[in-house]
Amino acid sequence: MEDYLGGIEAIFDKLDLDPLCGASANSLAQREMAFGTNYKAPPQRTGFFTLLYQALDDFMLKLLIVCAIIQIVIDMSFADPHELAHAWIEGFGILVAVAIVSLVTAWSDYSKEEQFLKQQSLAESTKTVTVFRDSKESIIHKNNLIVGDKIKIKNGMNIPVDGVCLEAVGVLCDEAAMTGESDHLAKEIPSKCKQRQADHESDTGFTKGHHDVPSPVLLSGTQVQTGQGWFLCCVVGDMTCEGQILASVEEKPNETTPLQDKLDIIAVDIGKLGMYAAILIVHCLLLRNFIEGMVRKEFDLFGGEFSPKKEAGCDKTMNCCLVEEAHPKSCKTLGLFTDTFTACPKFGEEAYDMVCTGKIKDMVKGWLSYLIVGIAIIVVAVPEGLPLAVMISLAYSVSKMLKDQNFVKRLTSCEIMGGANNICSDKTGTLTKNQMTWTQIWCGHDKKIADPDGTDSIDTASFCSNSSHLNLIKQGVSCNTEGQVADGSATEVAMLKFIQRCDTDFHYMRDHYTCNPMIRFPFDSSRKRMSTVIELDEDDVPEGECNRRIHIKGASEIILETCSHYIDADGERKLLDDQMKGNLNDIIKSYAVLALRTIGFAYKDLAKDEGGEEHDEREEGSRIYRVEESDLTLICIAGIKDIIREEVPMAVKKCN
């Protein structure tokens, strides 16, 4: 970055930005003209007739259409006059079945796409980010971002543009969508990354890993797993990493469901079997017709079928024919009682056609009737009602699930869930409403929170009578959380609502106690804890001692193992012996029996430079920092309830 761009300061100069004020509203139009916007056009809706054409592009339906057309043509061409009015019905019935199947398929896809676009539009409308413009924070949609915007990094956010870190506290990004690697990558400001790289290269005593050195670059399409900070927007729109990938990826055709794949295989096999059977039967009928013609002497092996006009001297003007007496076409044979080789008496036009023109018309009609038999076999073999039944059942299932607020994006999921024997479901947000409430607390003694779902102030004396103990709880909750009540995680929102009901302004607590720059070790699934270092007021610290304190929260059983002391009901700091630790484990288990999520809060007053200047020293390969490992003091244990959805108990009962 420094070799090509000259460092972060040079980037600010080239973009004409004030690092303290952010982008100016007056320069937005110029930046948009120079670098473009981050606007992404919504997906276009597929037309109904396009979906209908795609539905007709099916082997089974194509086969049925061809057979139906051939059958209608043959039936109408060779039907007797009295049968002509209804000869088309059988073939037309096949076309009607094909039309119903294709229309139901197209309608199902059309309505499904309509619901999907509505859901996508709703999801897109919520994709907002916090930016710093004109010396103040504001919330805008990600489509309105421009180059030069200073964007706030939040836990769990999807990075909308490419940029460079300006501030980072424990930021870890999941870049699997871009690189395919599952390891989380640390993000730091460029100067720290360069320093870490220099330290890493000079330190030959340790094994060097691929991700030991953090990166200052944030890529669009990746997700922030933990941490917070700010980054500078450098690339927007189609030029971002995500934009280039989306532009190069071709749109996938409509996926077929497993059942539809099996039906296609069955259709091909049935079609082949029907075709072979039809060909065999048609040949057998033609062979039979040929043998019978030879026996009746209606066929001549060397001259084709018998033609009286050519070989018997037929004369249409005389309306008679001269044949030998023994010939099947002779007058005697025909019952005209002529014994000599002479002219037959005149007879009508029909008799002349029957005698003198042979049976070519009747033969062709018979051969075509054999072909109709073969087509009928193919049509009967192909089950035209099967795709219709499948599509109607799938469309019905999708509509029923939509009524249950269960949007089906892919029909495949219906079949997969229908064939599942065991369902492993995430509890939070799936079986529960993801609306958490702090209902119980242990702070020296176990207490239930009065009216946990209410909004009125809580009488703090009902669970904590010591002011210093209560202040520790307020510090731990206010300073060691990341989000806000409006956009935080469900667990942190429950904590912040609780602390607000305790008449505490957590914004003031954060501004008053948080270090500058912030020192925070964020939560992740391997650490199962989160820590924040705060700076106490000088009046609250004995002379000569460090004024820094670390607050830790996390899984209660893990926090408990790192504690050597606890705060009792009177606010006294006491040694945590084995008996008390056993009692606290029983408290944690009793909360778990009530389906409560248990969170432990602890703190530790730090010595000067304990664990390093920024207290971030740790063992090689370990995710736990040394200041978090031991000698903590337990403040309290929170019991947080996540309300179960009303329909879940009955659903679980049915499954069992």
Helix (H, G, I), strand (E, B) or coil at 174: strand
Return the pLDDT at 387.
63
Read off the pLDDT of residues 57-92 as tens digits, 9 standing for 90 and up. 877 778 778 878 887 887 787 677 777 788 788 788
Query: In the structure, what pLDDT confidence band is assigned to residue 591 with cuts at 50, 70 and 90?
Result: very high
Q: Helix (H, G, I), strand (E, B), or coil: what is residue 328?
A: coil
More confident residue, 496 or 22: 496
Helix residue ranges, H only, 240-357: 241-248, 258-295, 308-311, 349-356
Residue 339 pLDDT greater than 50, yes or no: no
The segment with the largest mean pLDDT, out of 281-295, 313-327, 404-418, 627-641, is 627-641
CB count in 10 Å sphere of residue 363 = 15
Tokens of 150: 């200073």
Cα–Cα–Cα angle for 572, 577, 578, rounded to 5 degrees: 145
Q: State residue 227's pLDDT score.
A: 82
| Residues 272, 429 contacting (CB under 8 angstroms) | no
From 170, 252, 34, 216, select the one nearest 480 (Cα to Cα). Answer: 170
pLDDT band at 537 (very low <50, low <70, confident <90, very high): confident
Count of residues in the chain: 656
In this predicted model, which residue has the larger pLDDT, 331 or 270? 270
pLDDT reported for residue 332: 47
Its pTM stands at 0.62
Is residue 548 within 8 A of residue 534, CB to CB? The reply is yes
**Can you tell me the mean pLDDT for 629-637?**
94
User: Which range, 147-156, 204-213, 326-335, is most confident?
Assistant: 147-156
Residue 60's CB is within 10 A of a number of other CB atoms, namely: 21
pLDDT at 563: 96
- Between 36-45, 183-192, 314-323, 397-406, the lowest mean confidence (pLDDT) is in 314-323
pLDDT tens-digit profile of 467-498? Answer: 999 999 999 999 999 878 877 788 889 999 99
Question: Tokens 């592009």, residue?
Answer: 57
pLDDT in tens, 541-584: 877 788 899 999 999 999 999 999 999 999 999 999 999 999 99
Asked if 568 and 574 touch (Cβ cutoff 8 Å), the reply is yes
Enumerate residues 6+ apart whose C-beta is below 8 A from 502. 457, 458, 460, 470, 474
3-state SS, one letter per residue, for 104-157: HHHHHHHHHHHHHHHHHHHHHHCCEEEEEECCEEEEEEHHHCCCCCEEEECCCC
For position 338, what pLDDT does the model report?
A: 44
Residue 337: pLDDT above 50? no
Please give the C-alpha separations between residue 94 and each of 54, 67, 287, 466, in angstroms, as whole numbers: 19, 9, 30, 84
- pLDDT for the residue 551: 96
What mean pLDDT is reported for the chain? 79
CA 497 vs CA 439, 553, 628: distances in Å: 12, 17, 27
Is residue 323's pLDDT more than 60? no
pLDDT of residue 631: 93
Helix (H) or strand (E) holding 64: helix 59-78
Q: Which pLDDT belongs to residue 476?
A: 94
